[in-house]
Amino acid sequence: MSDVVMKASDLRREYHMGGELVRAVRGVTLEIARGDYVAIVGPSGCGKSTLLNLLGGIDRPTTGSVTIEGSRIDQLSDAAATRFRLHHIGFVFQRFYLMPALTAIENIELPMAEAKIPRDKRVRRGRELLAYVGLEARYGHRPAQLSGGEQQRVAIARALANKPQLLLADEPTGELDAKTGTEMIELLAQVNRDGTTIVVVTHDEDLAGAAHRVVHMRDGVVVDDRRQR
Amino acid sequence: MLLRLAWATLTRHRSRTLLAILGVAVSAAMLLDMVMLSSGMRASFRTLLLSRGFQLRLAPKGTLPFDTDATIPDASGVMRVLRTIPGVTTVSPVLGGQLHIVRGARTIAATALGVDPAVQGDYEITQGRAPASPLELVASDDFLRASGARIGDTLSAASGYDAQLRSFSGQRVLTIVGRAHFLYMPAEQRAVAIPLATLQQMQPGPATQNRDHVSLFMVKAREGEPVDSVLRRIETALPRVSAISTETAMRQVDERLSYFRQLALILGAVSLAVGFLLVTTLVTVSVNERLGEIVVMRAIGVARGRIVLQIVIEGIAIMVSGALGGLGLGLVTARYLNSILASFPGLPAAIDFFLFEPHDAWFALGLLTVAGILAGIYPSWRGASLPIAVTLREEAVG
Ligand SMILES: Nc1ncnc2c1ncn2[C@@H]1O[C@H](COP(=O)(O)OP(=O)(O)OP(=O)(O)O)[C@@H](O)[C@H]1O
Ligand SMILES: [Mg+2]
């Protein structure tokens, strides 16, 4: 695995809180290979989410750089970064964050519509993705009519809609019970086997155990980085 | 997808959306009424002045028609001169006065118009016929109601009445031949119209007195003839009269109505502001409660402009549905207010305070739509510009 999808160099992210300086990420260098499945773990407050946000281009580093598929996303304009995320990065959040007003399939169509994919194609791919995550029968349901696990499956389908190279997930099993959590872990492993590079931040040992590589963080830096399969 | 999302969001909070639409409808109705009010009286005065096709009115020098009791002497002479002026097609003389009608033990006072029934422009016959002989009259609804008289009845009428002596002067026995709607009089006016010569002869005073006078001439200019040049010819030929065109009269009406229009303008602006604030508030509230959604849309790659557009569409949808509702509401309230104001003392019954002109409705609708766009832009832009990561964290906590 030598093909690098993403490269972060000496990433730092500082927050000013009143007069206080919070160093959330203090010098992280990381390379992620195409097709890899990486879990970022560590104690609460060590900077995992902050790092993931920097890697996904929804936050900007104080210093350092993030290169994805050859693009310095930390230097892109807001509009260009948004466009980049649309086509190259899929996000999954702890709290699912589906559009409550839209049905399951419409939620999946949303990023495709933004990418100007014609309606018939969107619907076809939306159905395929719903089948892929095991929810083909629920396409017309709104998030409020779905269980947490089902919502998270729709969120994964949405993240995959535009066939991104990278899937970033922050505590994707955080709000799920053990059983649905296990199903989620299996689904993510399936997504990875089907070719998507995954970086997941988690406290869930089972989820971390399913990854190929585990990055340990403490106090904003990487303290351990090992490959487990 | 954009429209779908806007629609889905609006229908998700159905009662809130309906309330907002209702609020906008009320302020739109108010705005429309004010726009209708600001032009309504003016337009309806104009229609009234031109209703029988007389574009010019001649009053004694220096006065407005019926503003004073002054009259134009030597009416037949003036009439003869008028008929020779090129461009003049019809001349209608009018003399205003009072008549006392004796009904049993009662005496009823009525406003009397002496006219030439063949060319008059003061009333429209609604029942019966026009006076054909010197001792026939037509009367208003209110007169007939007050006197209890009917078409075909004869009445004893006098131009002068001394209450102390109960003595009448200039008395005639007249026959009612028709019921008429008097264009320039308030609805509840007791009015009669009789041939001009009869009213002139009934005027009190010594028998030798010259009674050949009128209050006013109404003049029609030939079609295609510039009214202003006819007016100048009349004033040159008849230096003792003031000729007033519809345009001049309208200017005077405008001056008298300017307070009215200012009031309408201010109240209209207030209702527009209320509608604007209502939608801004609604959009702000809706943006604030959807910050999570908005920021997630940004995270998954939806362009900021598209999010703003979607929220602005929601604002416009509320404004436009509210405005359409307000259109109906405005027309209903305008009709109701009009009926209240119609009894405004001293104004002709035909004057409408509120006049619906489609142009005005579009104007009000357009203003509201622009307000809707503006109301949506700021809150949505602000929402869509929040830093994604920080906002997500705050939303996750909140
Ligand atoms: N917007 C912010 N303003 C100030 N401090 C912040 C902000 N975001 C994060 N931090 C701080 O940065 C540090 C790292 O936060 P981060 O959320 O990345 O931790 P984490 O490893 O994801 O924790 P958890 O496992 O509990 O989710 C924390 O000390 C946090 O208080
Ligand atoms: Mg975290």
Extents of the domains making up chain A: 35-58+73-227
- pLDDT for B373 equals 87
Distance from CA of B328 to the nearest CA of A (A): 31
B41 and B69 part of one domain = no
Residue B249 covered by a domain: no
Residue A53 Cβ contacting ligand 1 at under 6 Å = no
The CATH homologous superfamily of the domain defined by A35-58+73-227: P-loop containing nucleotide triphosphate hydrolases (3.40.50.300)
Nearest CA to ligand 1 atom 22: A49
Is A4 an interface residue toward B (CB < 8 Å)? Answer: no
Does residue B397 carry a pLDDT above 70? Answer: no
Q: What is the pLDDT of residues B348-380, one digit of tens each?
A: 777 777 878 788 788 878 888 888 888 889 889
- pLDDT for B207 equals 65
Does residue A166 carry a pLDDT above 90? Answer: yes
The chain-wide mean pLDDT, for chain A, equals 95
Residue B110 covered by a domain: yes
Residue A167 Cβ contacting ligand 1 at under 6 Å = no
Q: pTM surpassing 0.80? A: no
B280 and B213 part of one domain = no
- Taking CB atoms and an 8 Å cutoff, what residues of chain B touch A94? 396
Q: What mean pLDDT comes out for the span B44-68?
A: 81
How many other CB atoms are there within 10 angstroms of residue A192's CB atom? 20
Protein residues within 5 Å, CB atom, of ion ligand 2: A 49
Q: Which two tokens stand for residue B40?
A: 């309504």
B67 and B196 part of one domain = yes
Enter the ipTM.
Answer: 0.94
Residue A118 Cβ contacting ligand 1 at under 6 Å = no
Does residue A134 carry a pLDDT above 70? Answer: yes
B309 and B339 part of one domain = yes
- pLDDT for A2 equals 57
- pLDDT for B174 equals 92
Q: Do B303 and A83 touch (CB under 8 A)?
A: yes
Q: Do A82 and B5 touch (CB under 8 A)?
A: no
Q: Do B1 and A113 touch (CB under 8 A)?
A: yes
Q: What mean pLDDT comes out for the span B300-304?
A: 95
Q: What is the pLDDT of residues B266-292, one digit of tens each?
A: 988 898 888 888 888 888 988 998 898
Q: Do A111 and B300 touch (CB under 8 A)?
A: yes
Does residue B398 carry a pLDDT above 60? Answer: no
Report CA torsion sign: A96, A100, A104, A108.
negative
Q: Do B392 and A58 touch (CB under 8 A)?
A: yes
Q: What mean pLDDT comes out for the span B288-303?
A: 92
Q: Which two tokens stand for residue B388?
A: 């994604």
Distance from CA of A109 to the nearest CA of B (A): 8
Residue B115 covered by a domain: yes
Residue A43 Cβ contacting ligand 1 at under 6 Å = no
Measured between alpha carbons, how far is A69 from A32 in angstroms, rounded to an integer? 11
Residue A44 Cβ contacting ligand 1 at under 6 Å = yes
Angle at A88 between CA A85 and CA A93, to 5 degrees: 60
Q: Do B1 and A50 touch (CB under 8 A)?
A: no
Q: Which atom of ligand 1 is nearest to the CA of A13?
A: 12
Q: Do B396 and A94 touch (CB under 8 A)?
A: yes
> Choosing among B14, B300, B381, B388, which should be mutated to test the A contact, i.e. which has the most A CBs within 10 A?
B300
Nearest to A58 among B4, B304, B389 (CB): B389
Q: What mean pLDDT comes out for the span B187-204?
A: 88
CB-side neighbour CA atoms (13 Å) of B258: 5
Is A86 an interface residue toward B (CB < 8 Å)? Answer: yes
**Which range is least confidently modeled, A217-221, B294-298, B376-380?**
B376-380
A1 pLDDT tier (thresholds 50, 70, 90): very low
B112 pLDDT tier (thresholds 50, 70, 90): very high
Nearest CA to ligand 1 atom 20: A45
> Choosing among A13, A52, A55, A58, which should be mutated to test the B contact, i.e. which has the most B CBs within 10 A?
A58
Nearest CA to ligand 1 atom 11: A24
Q: What mean pLDDT comes out for the span A47-64?
A: 96
B127 pLDDT tier (thresholds 50, 70, 90): very high
* pLDDT > 90 fraction of chain A, expressed in percent and rounded: 95
Q: What mean pLDDT comes out for the span A90-96?
A: 93
State the total domains in chain B: 2
Does residue A143 carry a pLDDT above 50? Answer: yes
Does residue B63 carry a pLDDT above 80? Answer: no
B5 pLDDT tier (thresholds 50, 70, 90): confident
Distance from CA of B18 to the nearest CA of A (A): 17
Measured between alpha carbons, how far is A121 from A161 in angstroms, rounded to an integer? 11
More confident residue, B62 or A63: A63
- Taking CB atoms and an 8 Å cutoff, what residues of chain A touch B292? 95, 97
Q: Do A101 and B298 touch (CB under 8 A)?
A: no
Q: What mean pLDDT comes out for the span B88-115?
A: 89
CA of A24 to the centre of ligand 1 (A): 6
**Which range is least confidently modeled, A86-100, A169-183, B60-74, B370-384?**
B60-74
Considering A118-127, B167-176, B268-277, the range whose residues carry the highest mean pLDDT is A118-127
Does residue B264 carry a pLDDT above 90? Answer: no
Residue B390 Cβ contacting ligand 1 at under 6 Å = yes
- pLDDT for B70 equals 81
Q: What mean pLDDT comes out for the span B248-268?
A: 84
Q: Do B300 and A90 touch (CB under 8 A)?
A: yes
- pLDDT for B208 equals 66
Across the A/B interface, how many CB contacts are shorter than 8 Å?
A: 83
B91 and B225 part of one domain = yes
Residue B248 covered by a domain: no
Which residues of chain B approach chain A closer than 8 Å at the C-beta? Answer: 1-2, 4-5, 8-9, 11-12, 292-293, 296-304, 306, 387-390, 392-393, 396
Residue A17 Cβ contacting ligand 1 at under 6 Å = yes
Structural domain ending residue among the three candidates B239, B272, B300: B239
B119 and B260 part of one domain = no
Nearest CA to ligand 1 atom 18: A47
* pLDDT > 70 fraction of chain A, expressed in percent and rounded: 99
Q: What mean pLDDT comes out for the span B77-89?
A: 91
Q: Which atom of ligand 1 is nearest to the CA of A201?
A: 22
For chain A, strand residue ranges (E) read 4-17, 20-33, 37-41, 63-68, 71-72, 89-92, 166-170, 197-201, 213-218, 221-227
Considering A198-202, B102-106, B363-367, the range whose residues carry the highest mean pLDDT is A198-202
Tokens 């549905």 appear where? B321
**CA-wise closest residue to B214 among B27, B79, B24, B358:** B79
Measured between alpha carbons, how far is B354 from B340 in angstroms, rounded to an integer? 11
More confident residue, B29 or B357: B29
Structural domain ending residue among the three candidates B239, B269, B304: B239
CA of A209 to the centre of ligand 1 (A): 24
B181 and B263 part of one domain = no
B336 and B295 part of one domain = yes
Residue B54 covered by a domain: no
The whole domain housing B77 covers: 62-239
B142 and B187 part of one domain = yes
> Choosing among A89, A91, A97, A201, which should be mutated to test the B contact, i.e. which has the most B CBs within 10 A?
A97
B102 and B231 part of one domain = yes
